[in-house]
Amino acid sequence: MRRESSKDNNHTRYESFGEKALERLTTNTAADGADGEHLPESDAPEEQQQQASENVSLLVQTSPEKKYSVESLQPFSQYLNKESSSRYQAIVLKTWTGDYESPYFEVGLVHIKNGDHRNGVVRALRVSPFHVTFHPLDEAFFEYVHSHLYNAQAQSLALEHQQKKQSQKTKNWGEGQTTLSDEQTRAAQAATEADYANESEEWIDLTNQEEYERNIRRSESELTTQEFIRLILMEFLRSGSSDMHIEAGQPTGRIRFRYDSEMFTRWDNIPFVKIKQLSMGMAETSGKDATQMKFKDIDSTIKVRALRDGRAADVELRFASQPTLYAPSIVLRSQLKPIRDIGAVGFLPRQIADLKAAYSQKRGILTITGATGSGKTNTLEAIYAALEEPDIYKIIEIGEPIEIRSARRTQMSLRPNTPFSWWDAFYSCLRADPDIIGIGELRSVEHVSLAINAALTGHLVLATFHAASVEDTLSRMFQMGLPRENLSTGMNLILAQALVKKLCERCKVVDQHPSDVYEREVYKSVGCPQCFNKGTRGRTAMTELLYFNDEVKEWIQNRNLTARDVVHKAMDAGYLIPMKAVAREKVLAGITSEQEVAAVLGLVESKRQYANYSYANAASSAESSAIQETINQHEEIIEGEIVG
């Protein structure tokens, strides 16, 4: 009983001392002159302050007279945000690190008697109350410092100070010594292993052949939503299709694949409820909120691990959804089997020579143009493969997202709705001292200007552009108002391309009635079981390519010449082979037919003329045969009368 009473007496004595010390500190607070940029002196004895620090949980002290400036307090503003500082009228005056890397703070507080303010500051700093020391602060001084500390410029300086401090810490890495204990080392290893596990879980493994063979024999109604999603992805990647479309309708929906630019239905008459479940499941698989698909479009990726040429390959499928009338419509695009050989793309031998001359230079822009789905990504991958082969260049690629992964170049995959934008990635590339930069699509005047500046500063830039031909590309760049001198100096090559279907080698036959005159026989499609009765199998590129030599650059700089004039001069000089001439070469080689070329290049007039020509020939042949029959009949009659 005596010991308990002594404890109560001590507790009462400590509380009364704390109240008296607090009262003494607040009554002795002096105004700090005209500018108010220093804290008041302390009248409390040093022994009493030490005793208070041992017995008061939220320590209140005064410090010797010390002047503070905005510059000296700026690095400490990062620990207390603007809202907390304004709410509790507090400013961090000093911070240091104690034992076990524990942070300690000195905080100036206007209403130092207010316990809620002291507790709020401790919670905002996220430390123990014993790690915070409070000092009384004049209100005028607080208002002045707060207005200067928490503006935008000051916060950027605080962030820069924090980054410098963090980079200074990392300079000791690799010295062969560690300050971690055994328990901390094991905890760090466990965290690293967990990160690797989470990263591996992001990729969907679709390499199980037994799972595919088992589920492909089952009905859609027997499969769960996740099993059906995995089966759809497996079938999509195995078919070699470029797109997959999940389309909702009432009362049923369907799933279609795009193969060789044509859509065909893979699953039909799927109940609406099942289609809706598939849409939601696909969104969750891509890591997005499925409920948001009803109100806005979603752009994301699905990471899968599939078989490519008998080996497991990591592929990022481009995921896009649109809110439609019944349920979200989903589209997936794949680049599982890219072409990595320039000779297999479909260039003519002379075009390959110009292309190699363009990407062999140390600087300049290579622009690949074409419509959506014209094979620009495959052509770029073939160029990347040629540049990676000697392994002497630093290559950085920016993608939204990266569709084809490569271990021999640095790839930066941009995600929508993230702070790291295309501009941040581009400037980051320039600071990394690259030789070759792949910047993706040129979407605006600013993109083209930055690409030209990067080329003029000594980088080889690979980019894509949406245009139908070389003439269209030059015309749009002229309309952007870019200086022609910079355009002619920075550009190395413009390559426009389109994909045309190749004839099936098993069933193609000689075309007996071509619409044009050719030096040798040409072929047309028929159809067989090998090509699913389509007559075509696979696609190849038809390209027109303009290499910027000295004469072409002079034409570009001449402001009196339009884009059409430049293209016509290049064709007359033999610098550019038009796409129609390339298509004729492919028809003569038996690779494709006139009908396929006309469908791709939009030669509707030639098809109409060909149809009219065929009809006229048929009509004239029928009329001539009728006339011949009439003549024969008359001759027989005449001969019969003479004989009779």
Least reliable range by pLDDT among 196-210, 376-390, 548-562, 588-602: 196-210
Q: pLDDT band at 171, cuts 50/70/90?
A: very low
pLDDT tens string 66-100:
667 777 887 788 788 888 888 888 999 888 887 76
Alpha helices in 206-271 (DSSP H): 209-216, 225-239
Collapsed DSSP state (helix, strand, coil) of residue 340: coil
The CATH topology of domain 342-501+539-578 is: Rossmann fold (3.40.50)
Backbone angles phi, psi at 109, to 5 degrees: -130, 135
Under 8 Å CB-to-CB from 365, ≥6 apart: which residues? 451, 452, 455, 461, 462, 463, 490, 491, 492, 493
Whether pLDDT at 555 is above 90:
yes
pLDDT, residue 267, reads 92
pLDDT tens string 344-357:
899 999 999 999 99
The secondary structure of 543-574, three-state, reads EEEEECCHHHHHHHHCCCCCHHHHHHHHHHHC
Backbone angles phi, psi at 229, to 5 degrees: -65, -45
Query: In the numeric block, which tokens belong to residue 411?
Result: 């790839």
* Architecture per CATH, 205-333: 2-Layer Sandwich (3.30)
CA atoms within 13 A on the CB side of 451: 30
pLDDT tens string 224-242:
988 999 999 999 988 878 8
What span, in angstroms and rounded, lies between the C-alpha atoms of 284 and 324?
18
**373 close to 404: Cβ distance less than 8 angstroms:** no
What distances in angstroms separate CA 523 from CA 385, 520, 588, 593, 621, one per listed residue?
33, 10, 8, 6, 24
Please give the average per-residue pLDDT across 515-528, as a whole number.
86
Whether pLDDT at 262 is above 80:
yes
Query: In the numeric block, which tokens belong to residue 369?
Result: 């143009």
What span, in angstroms and rounded, lies between the C-alpha atoms of 396 and 1?
78
Query: In the numeric block, which tokens belong to residue 16?
Result: 């009364």
Reported residue count of the chain is 644
**114 close to 95: Cβ distance less than 8 angstroms:** no
